[in-house]
Amino acid sequence: MGIFGTSFNPKTIEDNGAFNLAHENAVLRDDVAHLEYKTQELEESLLKISDAFDNIGFAPLNTEETTALPLKTVKQMAKVSRSMAAMNPFVKRGVKARISYIWGKGVQFDKTDAIQEDIDKNKKKMFSSQAYEELEMAAATDGNVFRAIPLDTETNAEQEATTLRIPLDQIVDAVSNPEDFEEIWYYKRSFVVRKTDQNGVVTKKEQVKYYASIAYYQKLQRQGKNLPKRWKDAGVDQNFVMQHIAVNRQVGWRWGIPDVAAVVFWAAAYKEYLEDNAKLVKAYSRLAWQVKVPTQTAAQGAAAQVMSPPSRDPITGESRDVGGTAVTGMGTTISPTSVSSSQVDFSKGTPLASAIASGLEVSLIVITSDPGSGNRSTAETLDLPTLKAMESRQLLWTEAFNEVFEFWGATESTVTWPQIYNDSTKDRIAAIGTADELGRIYPEESRKEILDVLGIAPFKPWDELPNPAEDPKNVYKEEQANIAFERQQESAEAQSVIPGQGKSGGVAAKGGAMSTPNSARDNRSKDSGNS
């Protein structure tokens, strides 16, 4: 059997001389050289790519928007960002990690009895774990979140309607205060309404509406004014007002930009880098063996044998492309091809992965899932910049919730986020235990914090738990402690009657250094009292 499971026959060497091994090797070497050049070219062009992306979209659409990012450009960014978050594993993991940090333990709303009905009615679209994830994903990929909040008035024909989540693609324009470009009065929405009749016939109709912003609607209310029926080329919706949440927005901009926009080209470059290295590995694998023969005719035959199809397993039908036996003639040598490890090194792409991590404000380990990217301590903790970035995003959502609560009529409400831990579980429990021992926290607080860290729901409220003094485990510990103390006392008393030897002072008088285990403490107390 040959290298790939075929027989080596000297006659075959002469008959199948069509292959030129030297030519094949030259072609493969050209392929490898081309791939290496592409890798180098990619690395050299990253800066140019970044600069090009930085300049995208800043051409003004009109004189009003000389410094603003056009909505068209934002939508283009969002389209690419959505694809990246869905298909690129590194971007997807980074975005999911952000969602977990920000929303992983939920959020609590206190003192909201007056609006509890509104919260319950909008739970699916605004106050569920799925809603939180979807809203954060929209912020990451679109940079803008639009929510149409229903007006609760007697004249509202849709007063039972719930909040509408408006896709970015349906927002086509905005109307601003003539004296303040950033203060948006109305959002223009274009969408298609689909209706199906009793016969299953579907009709489509395009609708265009303006929605007043929450802030502008409240401004009109304070002035004693109502919403106009129409604005310019379309009607003004009388049943909803718009809430707009924008991330990464700069001064003078109407629109936010996606979180993912900062890493789009870096993620694409890292993906291409890994693909090119995989191609290099495959190319080198084609040159796994080097055959040295004494004549040109033998070389041609060896090439034919090597390139022939592998045999197949008679049972499984799989190719026997590894572990074959080479049968050669005299003067023929087969040796493995040596490939330098420096030619294929996937770790050299780490700076590209670091750029993705930096853009999404998460650690490199989160992006690569590679423990080799840092030590164990780094893997178990959330670094301070990431912690502060996630807390900043939580603050943005807090303000968004409070704006809606105030609109619904809540005079007092509190949004509370569970702490984003910056240390390991073991360290947190140790810190809680230390605080408990020092008497700086109550037992109820200690129990609550430890259960929270461990992710355990309380079995019973604190006041329903048995008295710690009555706990069988604690009773046993107390009994053992008392026994140990009694034995210690007996031992001390026995030592006090042993005669001393010479002038060593072996006999301990009452109150002396060997009288009891607590004699030193007692002597300190006596001395302090005399002073």
pLDDT by 10s per residue, the chain, length 531: 443 334 444 444 444 443 444 545 555 556 556 656 555 554 454 444 444 445 444 343 343 444 578 999 999 999 999 999 999 999 999 999 999 999 988 898 887 788 888 999 999 999 999 999 999 999 999 999 999 999 975 445 555 678 999 999 999 999 999 988 889 999 999 999 988 888 888 899 999 999 999 999 999 999 999 999 999 899 999 999 999 999 999 988 999 999 999 999 999 988 888 888 888 777 776 666 666 777 766 666 666 565 555 666 666 766 655 555 455 555 666 666 665 555 667 778 888 999 999 999 998 888 987 766 555 555 455 688 898 999 999 999 999 999 999 999 888 778 989 888 666 677 788 888 888 888 788 877 887 888 877 777 777 776 676 666 666 666 777 788 888 888 888 888 887 766 555 544 444 444 444 444 444 334 434 444 444
CB 240 within 8 A of CB 212: no
CB 17 within 8 A of CB 297: yes
- How far apart are the C-alpha atoms of 485 and 11, rounded to whole Å? 97
Q: What is the dihedral of CA 445, 450, 454, 458, to 10 degrees?
A: -50
CB 515 within 8 A of CB 526: no
Q: Which residues fall within 8 angstroms of residue 482, CB to CB, at 6 or more apart?
A: none
**DSSP 8-class letter at 250:** -
Would you list the domain boundaries of the chain? 14-143+257-289+347-418, 144-246, 469-530
- Give pTM, 2 decimals: 0.66
> Rounded to whole angstroms, what are the CA distances from 388 to 257, 363, 394?
20, 13, 10
- How far apart are the C-alpha atoms of 123 and 284, rounded to whole Å? 57
| Pick from 392, 410, 391: nearest CA to 401 | 410
- The H helix count followed by the E strand count for the chain is 18, 12
